[in-house]
Chain A
Amino acid sequence: KNEVEQSPQNLTAQEGEFITINCSYSVGISALHWLQQHPGGGIVSLFMLSSGKKKHGRLIATINIQEKHSSLHITASHPRDSAVYICAVYMDSNYQLIWGAGTKLIIKP
């Protein structure tokens, strides 16, 4: 079993829909990172969080440390949101980063 699991693996939705991507982990962590990789290959950091909730524009990230679960939400989704979204956790023992496999999101106009 992978230490970081993302779901779904693939998600196709219509423009305007509310999107949720989930990340569950099995190790003790000090923080969790959400990143976005566009079809062109560039990787961008979206959020780093260790508790509660963060919001940036139409993106919202939440984390529940007790349940070892984080979600990334996109409100009013747009085709330009189409990308792979990756969850990564920092192990609290050594700050090593463990990556999820990513969720491929396609937003259709």
Chain B
Amino acid sequence: DARVTQTPRHKVTEMGQEVTMRCQPILGHNTVFWYRQTMMQGLELLAYFRNRAPLDDSGMPKDRFSAEMPDATLATLKIQPSEPRDSAVYFCASGLVLLAGYEQYFGPGTRLTVT
């Protein structure tokens, strides 16, 4: 049964360290999203890709965050250097673009704690 996978599931790191989160979208899906969820802000869109090209990353702090899709089976989100305010759950979702929108399938999330 196809699903989006994310690694790691949990990450605790110290302020200033680099964090890399990985996502494997569902095979055949052409759109990948990165979201961040905190208690205060709810779900925020950080970036999304279609056919591996970044379409929108306006939600992402550019000075420290970067998102890439080196190939169709892997999306990465990096934070360098990490800060305590980056502590959140980061979700990856993938979807297949249809005419009127697309179902998004969410991964289990990466819970990041920056101390």
B104 touches A33 (CB 8 A): yes
Q: How far is the CB of B77 from chain A (nearest CB, A)?
A: 17
Contact status B105-A42, CB under 8 Å: no
Interface residues of B (CB under 8 A from A): 33, 42-43, 45, 56, 89, 91, 93, 97, 100-106, 108-109, 111
CB closest residue in chain B, given A51? B100
| Cβ-defined contact, A50 with B100, below 8 A | yes
Flag if A43 contacts B91 (CB, 8 Å). yes
- Majority-rule SS of B interface residues: strand
Decide if A30 touches B106 in the complex (CB within 8 Å).
no
Instruction: Let me know if B103 and A30 touch, CB within 8 A.
Output: no
| Size class of the A contact interface (CB-based, 8 Å) | 10 to 19
Which chain A residues border B45 with CB–CB below 8 Å? Answer: 96-97, 99
Closest chain A residue, CB of each to CB of B105 = A45
Does A48 touch B at the CB level, under 8 Å?
Answer: yes
A86-B43, A101-B42, A102-B42 known; A48 vs B101 contact (CB < 8 Å): yes
Q: Smallest CB–CB gap between A72 and chain B, Å? A: 16
Please report the C-alpha to C-alpha distance between residue A35 and residue B91 in the assembled complex, in whole angstroms: 14
A99 and B106 within 8 A (CB):
no
The 5 closest A-B pairs by CB, nearest first: A31-B101, A90-B101, A43-B106, A31-B100, A50-B100
Question: Do A42 and B100 touch across chains, with their CB atoms under 8 A apart?
Answer: no
Q: How far is the CB of A96 from chain B (nearest CB, A)?
A: 7
Evaluate contact between B108 and A42: CB separation under 8 angstroms.
Answer: yes
What are 6 A-B pairs with beta-carbon distances under 8 A?
Answer: A33-B103, A43-B91, A45-B104, A45-B105, A48-B103, A97-B45
Of B91, B93, B100, B108, which is within 8 A of A30 by CB? B100
